[in-house]
Amino acid sequence: MTASITRGRGGPPTGSVENTGTLLHTPGGYFAQFSIGGGRRKGVLLAACDNEGTAKRRQVAIAGLVAQLREAGYPAMIPNVNRDAGAADEDEFRNIAKVVERVATGKSRDFRGFKACDEKAAP
């Protein structure tokens, strides 16, 4: 199995990100990995991305969410955000980004909007 690797530095339109992670093109699709702190990395299949340009934009956008959560002191949310953001279509991704923004800026501690949190809250 061969995979192409893209590593880069840059940032999403909403802020500066020091490291955008690693993007792999595998036979199963595009896979992005991100540092989540403490020397650990988490990866996610970018299910909604069918070409390298779309995958790269989503990779950078997810890296921005990861950076916001790390800086705000919410590293425990990162694995769920990665998973949900990688599988999300454009509308779902915008909703995830809005929740991350509200949490990271202290405007909300309400985590509804993330599938993992919604599933735990459901009876």
> Mean of the pLDDT values across residues 44-70?
93
In this prediction, residue 91 carries a pLDDT of: 94
Q: From the centroid of its chain, how far is CA 75?
A: 12
Q: What order do you get walking across the sheet with 4-7 strand by strand?
A: 4-7, 22-26, 29-37, 40-45
For residue 47, which of 37, 62, 35, 36 has the smallest C-alpha distance?
62
How much is the pTM?
0.75
In this prediction, residue 106 carries a pLDDT of: 86
Cα-trace Rg, the chain: 14
SS3 106: coil
